[in-house]
Amino acid sequence: MILQLEHIQKNYGSKTVLKDCSFSFEKGKIYGLLGRNGAGKTTLFNCLTDEVQADGGQVCLLEEDGGVSPLTPSQVGYVFSTPVLPDFLTGYEFIRFYMDIHQEKKAPEKTIDEYFDMVKMEEQDRHKLIKGYSHGMKNKVQMLCFLIARPPVILLDEPLTSFDVVVALEIKQLLREIKQDHILIFSTHILQLATDLCDEIVVLSDGCLQQLDHSLLTEKDFEERIVELLKDENAHE
């Protein structure tokens, strides 16, 4: 399966944020979408989820059987940097409800506790109100949602920037475990995080997407090249 972006454009007034974004993202890889703050990473994600209407271009899914169809919001799981969850429910109540409304998508053999085990959430925490959860626990609940609904495309918007070391490692491991079944795109402005976790690095600069040659990652002047590529960035989210 391939997520195909063709000539995506987005303007805010006279400001061009996405100029001509074309790229092919393949299933089975974690892509690091690297760009400075304000480069347009969140705008691109919002265009992919239809939260924001692009001004030009198209986004398609190329199926393994050769079928081609426009990407729909139901095919995208979006892990927000600031989780939006119902604070008045416990984690267990919310996930049970989420499983009920996604019966046709979830793996039939998996129980609710097996899902919680996948994100390494302690048993006592599962029955606490979400409003008392840490940022990391809320992100784990967000991730449980896409483990249940199994959308082909998963977008992660700066998901590890405020986690403690243990939770960040757990989520990195989870992403590596599930990547073979999804197209994973991980936005960040932290270079080391992108090189550590991602199979491919795509730079968003001057409104366009550019893939880095993987062999560059091992070269001594890799960071200097990235800085050079990004330092003239003038776009805004």
Task: Say if residues 15 and 43 touch (Cβ distance below 8 Å).
Answer: no
Res 107 pLDDT > 70 = yes
pLDDT digits (tens, 9 = 90+) for 62-77: 988 888 999 999 899 8
Task: Examine residue 183 and state whether it is found in any structural domain, yes or no.
Answer: yes
What is residue 219's predicted lDDT score, i.e. its pLDDT?
Answer: 64
Higher-pLDDT residue of 217 and 54 is: 54
Task: Examine residue 105 and state whether it is found in any structural domain, yes or no.
Answer: no
* Whole-number percent of the chain with pLDDT over 70: 87
Going by pLDDT thresholds of 50, 70 and 90, the confidence category of residue 165 is confident
DSSP, collapsed to helix, strand or coil, labels residue 75 as helix
CA distance 48 to 53: 9
Task: Examine residue 95 and state whether it is found in any structural domain, yes or no.
Answer: no
DSSP, collapsed to helix, strand or coil, labels residue 20 as strand
Q: Residue 24 sits in a domain of what CATH number?
A: 3.40.50.300
How many whole angstroms from its chain centre is CA 123?
A: 27
In DSSP notation, 78-135 reads EE-SS----TTSBHHHHHHHHHHHTTTTS-TT--HHHHHHHTT--HHHHTSBGGG--H
Averaged pLDDT for residues 215-225 = 64
pLDDT digits (tens, 9 = 90+) for 4-44: 999 999 999 889 999 999 999 999 999 999 888 778 898 99
Res 160 pLDDT > 80 = no
Helical residues (DSSP H) of 119-190, grouped into ranges:
123-126, 135-149, 165-178
What is residue 9's predicted lDDT score, i.e. its pLDDT?
Answer: 95
Going by pLDDT thresholds of 50, 70 and 90, the confidence category of residue 235 is very low
Task: Examine residue 179 and state whether it is found in any structural domain, yes or no.
Answer: yes
For residues 167, 169, 175, 177, the Cα torsion angle rounded to the nearest 10 degrees is: -120
Task: Examine residue 209 and state whether it is found in any structural domain, yes or no.
Answer: yes
What is residue 171's predicted lDDT score, i.e. its pLDDT?
Answer: 81
Res 225 pLDDT > 80 = no
- Who contacts 226 (Cβ-Cβ below 8 Å, separation ≥6)? 34, 191, 203, 212
Find the domain containing 13 and state its range.
2-85+152-230
Task: Examine residue 127 and state whether it is found in any structural domain, yes or no.
Answer: no
Q: Which of 79-83, 94-98, 222-226 is least confident? A: 222-226
Task: Examine residue 54 and state whether it is found in any structural domain, yes or no.
Answer: yes
Say how many domains are in the chain: 1
What is residue 236's predicted lDDT score, i.e. its pLDDT?
Answer: 44
Task: Examine residue 100 and state whether it is found in any structural domain, yes or no.
Answer: no
Rounded to 5°, angle at Cα 50 from 48 and 51: 110
Task: Say if residues 35 and 42 touch (Cβ distance below 8 Å).
Answer: no
pTM confidence score: 0.85
What is residue 117's predicted lDDT score, i.e. its pLDDT?
Answer: 92
What is residue 237's predicted lDDT score, i.e. its pLDDT?
Answer: 46
What is residue 106's predicted lDDT score, i.e. its pLDDT?
Answer: 74
What is residue 162's predicted lDDT score, i.e. its pLDDT?
Answer: 59
